[in-house]
Amino acid sequence: MRAFVVEKYRQPLVLRDVPEPVVGDRDVLVRVEAAGLNQLDEKIRSGEFAQILPYELPVILGNDVAGTVIRVGRLVRRFQVGDRVFARPHDSRIGTFAERIAITEADLALVPARLSMVEAGSLPLVALTAWQALVERGKVGPGQKVLIHAGAGGVGAIAIQLAAHLGATVATTASAANADFVRSLGADTVIDYRAQDFAEELSGYDLVLDSLGGDNLERSLRALKPGGRAIGISGPPDPAFAAERGMNPLLRLAITALSRKIRRQAKKLGVSYEFLFMHADGAQLGEIAALVDAGVLRPVVTKTSPFAQVPEALAALAGGGGRGKSVITFAE
């Protein structure tokens, strides 16, 4: 089958004929019909995550998928041939930029009835990231104040909708051109990041979801109330993440050093910082699907490209600043 492969870090993706996926007893073989593009794909290709997310090269790239079940393992019970499914495969089994992929049953969910395959292919990674930040970790509820950075982006657009649904008051950063768009998603306060300093404008927030890192993350700590939490998805990784991943002692020390500055700053301000690297979870994706079918969440797809243009589409994504998601389609 055809697939786009990372053969060497920092080198362009290569289209290759690769072996068919091996389907285990609890695996589902999916014919890929749409695959969302994510910043994570570019970070893997460039080698930026090579230390914390090592792969044996060559590896098929791609972290989002929507498609049709064409075969199931002998112990699979929840899915059958012909089902429309979507997933973020486990990070050890990525490879959605391919014609077919085998995914463990536990990572899959049925596509919401109201969505096209393209819309479904845009959702898993960003929706699970928002869910795990706001629901699983943040326990966000009515009366809380949440700041979501880059509200027009892939994660931000879903996180705003989810936080509003949970009853929070939502602030976000966006360009002036995207202000009306993020308000339509549920943002109560919009900070024009080009003209305003959110750290001066906002205070007393319970939670910040930061997708930018660096100085933006450091300044986000000042927007929190005492006891508030900053959850970062662009890093730096923290000791809890290193322990969870079972990293060796030397790498744990390195990870601890990477996040020491931000953790010290947070402690001094009476707040906390934690790194989130989202995980695959079919059950959570099923809950997200229910919210989509209920009209609570809607995907935001702004661009589609054919399978043959994966490298160009990924290069365009690396520039950042876009609205919503870009999706690869597999229709011939």
227-238 pLDDT, tens digit each: 999 999 998 999
Average pLDDT, stretch 170-186?
97
Cα angle 220, 162, 40 (rounded to 5 degrees) comes to: 65
pTM of the model: 0.96
Q: Which one, of 269, 261, 257, 140, lies nearest residue 209 by Cα?
A: 140
One-character DSSP codes across 25-36? TTEEEEEEEEEE
One-character DSSP codes across 226-252? EEEEEEESS----HHHHHHTT--HHHH
- Asked if the model's pLDDT at residue 260 lies above 80, the reply is yes
Q: Chain-centre distance of CA 305, in angstroms?
A: 20
Mind listing the pLDDT tens digit for each residue in 293-319? 999 999 999 999 999 999 999 999 876
Mind listing the pLDDT tens digit for each residue in 120-162? 999 999 999 999 999 999 999 999 999 999 999 999 999 999 9
- Asked if the model's pLDDT at residue 61 lies above 60, the reply is yes
- Asked if the model's pLDDT at residue 331 lies above 80, the reply is no
- Asked if the model's pLDDT at residue 9 lies above 90, the reply is yes
pLDDT of residue 332: 52
Which token pair is 19? 């072996």
Rounded distance between C-alpha atoms, residue 95 and residue 17, angstroms: 13
State the pLDDT confidence band at 321, using cuts at 50, 70 and 90: low
- Asked if the model's pLDDT at residue 273 lies above 70, the reply is yes
Mind listing the pLDDT tens digit for each residue in 64-112? 999 999 999 999 999 999 999 999 999 999 999 999 999 999 999 999 9
Cα angle 142, 137, 117 (rounded to 5 degrees) comes to: 90
Mind listing the pLDDT tens digit for each residue in 25-36? 999 999 999 999
**For residue 226, is the peptide bond before it cis, meaning its omega torsion is within 30 degrees of 0?**
no
State the pLDDT confidence band at 194, using cuts at 50, 70 and 90: very high
pLDDT of residue 50: 87
Mind listing the pLDDT tens digit for each residue in 277-300? 999 999 999 999 999 999 999 999
Domains and CATH numbers, the chain: 2-123+299-329 (3.90.180.10), 125-275 (3.40.50.720)
Q: Which helix (H) or strand (E) holds 224?
A: strand 224-232
